[in-house]
A and B are shown apart, each in its own frame.
Chain A
Amino acid sequence: GQQLNQSPQSMFIQEGEDVSMNCTSSSIFNTWLWYKQDPGEGPVLLIALYKAGELTSNGRLTAQFGITRKDSFLNISASIPSDVGIYFCAGLISMHTGKLIFGQGTTLQVKP
């Protein structure tokens, strides 16, 4: 079946550093989403990407929809302690059903 490979699995960085994570797939997706999950809570949408090559920013976050439509990247600039959490990528399987497939997640820890 379809799979998303998200890397790295975890990151431990110093406050102020930039962070990069990515998702790759053998399948083509028409929509890529990035979510953040705080401990013990549900994921919250960060950025949605709808077009190959699209680069979208949300504050210190920037995400790109790969031109092959098989990958996506998320960058966080100048990390702060509240960036701690699990970041998930998701690809849209079906526009009709809204079904998503999720990556395994990247756990981010930030040292003040």
Chain B
Amino acid sequence: GQSLEQPSEVTAVEGAIVQINCTYQTSGFYGLSWYQQHDGGAPTFLSYNALDGLEETGRFSSFLSRSDSYGYLLLQELQMKDSASYFCAGHSGGYQKVTFGTGTKLQVIP
């Protein structure tokens, strides 16, 4: 089976930096994605890591360590609009089998 664990809630101040962690247990793992979902909206893709290390996309960065079965999403220069739920998603198998993490609700406060 597969499982991905995330903190359920995180609160951070506008303009600050926040890190959302994801630990996983999955067989046949080959990569980790991150998605953002605003209340009432559809999940939208943020990033994907297949290799160890940091991937940067604007204010968002994602990190993966396969040896530690761990990844994180780093959000810099937080804005109020970043308040949303964030999901890590583990990719496994030879096809598009995706297991989503438990989700982290981020609240950005002034």
Decide whether A and B are members of one complex: no
